Amino acid sequence: MELITILNQCYHHKGFVYQNARLIDKGTPEIEVNIVPRKRSKANCSGCGKPCSGYDHLPKRRYEFIPFWGFKVFLVYAKRRVQCRDCGVVAEAVPWARGKHHLCDAYMLYLADWARKLSWKEVAQRFRTSWEKVFHSVEYVVDWGLEHRDMSGITAIGVDEVQWHKGHRYLTLVYQIDSANTRLLWIGKERTEKTFSSFFDSLGEEAISQLKFVCSDMWKPYLKVIKARAGHALHILDRFHIVARMNKALDEVRASEHRAMKNDGYEPILTKSRWLLLKRPANLTTVQDSKLKELLQYNLQSIRAYLLKEEFQHLWDYVSPAWAGNFIDHWTTKVMRSKIEPMKREARTIRRHKDLILNWFIAKKAFSSGVVEGLNTKVKLTVRKSYGFRTFKCTEIALYHVLGKLPVPKLTHEFY
Ligand SMILES: [Zn+2]
């Protein structure tokens, strides 16, 4: 069987034929296959797509195709220039590659698909190609996906920030969190009002009017923008962020008490207690469980803070917003008497945002913390993997690629 037979089977293009498959040696052996236009076929204008009469030829170019049994494969073609009535003299459009790309569509889709599973560097190494080529492949797939994605029917969104690069630089991320469709919708630099507001600009008034739920953390600029741009939707403070804040406060208490005890020469009983206190009791191992029980005997600020945090978790069991509200009043009053500053700070915050927290109960707990938390974890992982990326553009593309659930251009043959 000849290579050309296989190519015709998996990568046939109307109006073009393959010719003269050969093995050439450029240091390492490579496969080259010529493409020529079928006789009497017309070239399509790359400006408007219409078939036009030919003008002249451009020099031959090599288009990299999916490697075959360890050989690099190149399709060689001399583009025709056409005389288009509307666009003037321009190069023809070829069906196997876009614009100035030197990689075939099929190869770009192939690399981009691997780039979902491996880091871009690993993909480049695995297929003996360059990091830039992997980047351009992913960029192509993401751009196509963003252009062709369906933005209708979005009724619930969540906004979240993630730390980016070292230092205090953030990205704002907007997710769709409808139960039937959770995906990353949008990414913006920084976490300012202006950033988040530009998401609503890009969404457009009609889509905004269809929003029923907006979830967020307590970051003030987000709260302000949600009120101004999506005031008709039910605004929910999501549980994941409230619990995360509380854990942070508890950790502050524990760390400073541990330090103080060490300095004062007391027995360091809080050593290695961090996860005992932060984990939910149900998730502790038997050994951790007995250690925790021992720790609970002590009259320490950390222990009191821990008990307050655990007590707060009962909030989520309420069904009625009114009863949940009573619980919040009761709990915050207790915390305000506790003299534990980081916990008091959280209690004040919770009081201030009580209405938004209660909206979670009004929404009948429809938006579990798991959705936002899961997306947040995946985002952090992708951002960490992409630390080598200096530019926002790279990070943006990587995030859309992994989390955007974007549609992918269809080929007639599945190469992977
Ligand atoms: Zn044209």
Sign of CA dihedral 215, 220, 222, 227: positive
Cβ contact 237:216 at 8 Å: yes
- Return the pLDDT at 217: 87
Q: In whole angstroms, give the CA distance from residue 35 to residue 403.
A: 37
Chain centroid, CA 402 distance in Å: 6
Q: In whole angstroms, give the CA distance from residue 146 to residue 157.
A: 18
Q: Which H or E element spans position 305?
A: helix 301-312
Residue with tokens 């600009």: 201
Calculate how far, in angstroms, residue 73's C-alpha sits from the geometric centre of ligand 1: 31
Per-residue pLDDT reduced to its tens digit, 218-245: 899 999 999 999 999 999 988 888 888 9
Calculate how far, in angstroms, residue 17's C-alpha sits from the geometric centre of ligand 1: 24
Calculate how far, in angstroms, residue 64's C-alpha sits from the geometric centre of ligand 1: 26
For the chain, how many residues are written? 416
Calculate how far, in angstroms, residue 354's C-alpha sits from the geometric centre of ligand 1: 60
Calculate how far, in angstroms, residue 13's C-alpha sits from the geometric centre of ligand 1: 20
Calculate how far, in angstroms, residue 49's C-alpha sits from the geometric centre of ligand 1: 6
Calculate how far, in angstroms, residue 97's C-alpha sits from the geometric centre of ligand 1: 18
Cβ contact 82:54 at 8 Å: yes
- Return the pLDDT at 391: 81
Question: Which phi and psi (to 5°) does residue 262 adopt?
Answer: -65, -45
- Return the pLDDT at 389: 67
Q: Which H or E element spans position 355?
A: helix 354-362
Calculate how far, in angstroms, residue 113's C-alpha sits from the geometric centre of ligand 1: 33
Q: In whole angstroms, give the CA distance from residue 13 to residue 263.
A: 76
Joined tokens for residue 115: 């780039």
- Return the pLDDT at 368: 65
Per-residue pLDDT reduced to its tens digit, 177-203: 998 899 999 999 999 999 999 999 999
CATH superfamily membership of 156-238+368-385: Ribonuclease H-like superfamily/Ribonuclease H (3.30.420.10)
Burial 141-150 (b: 16+ CB within 10 A, else e): bbebbeeeee
- Return the pLDDT at 386: 67
Calculate how far, in angstroms, residue 90's C-alpha sits from the geometric centre of ligand 1: 8
Calculate how far, in angstroms, residue 84's C-alpha sits from the geometric centre of ligand 1: 5
Q: Kindly report the pTM of this predicted structure.
A: 0.83
Calculate how far, in angstroms, residue 102's C-alpha sits from the geometric centre of ligand 1: 22
- What are the sequence ranges of the domains in the chain? 3-102, 156-238+368-385, 239-362
3-state helix, strand, coil in the chain (%, to 5): 45, 25, 30
Calculate how far, in angstroms, residue 201's C-alpha sits from the geometric centre of ligand 1: 33
Show the low-confidence residues of the chain (pLDDT under 50).
none
- Return the pLDDT at 412: 79
Q: In whole angstroms, give the CA distance from residue 50 to residue 247.
A: 62
- Return the pLDDT at 277: 84
Residue with tokens 């969104």: 157
Q: In whole angstroms, give the CA distance from residue 259 to residue 52.
A: 79
Sign of CA dihedral 347, 349, 352, 356: negative
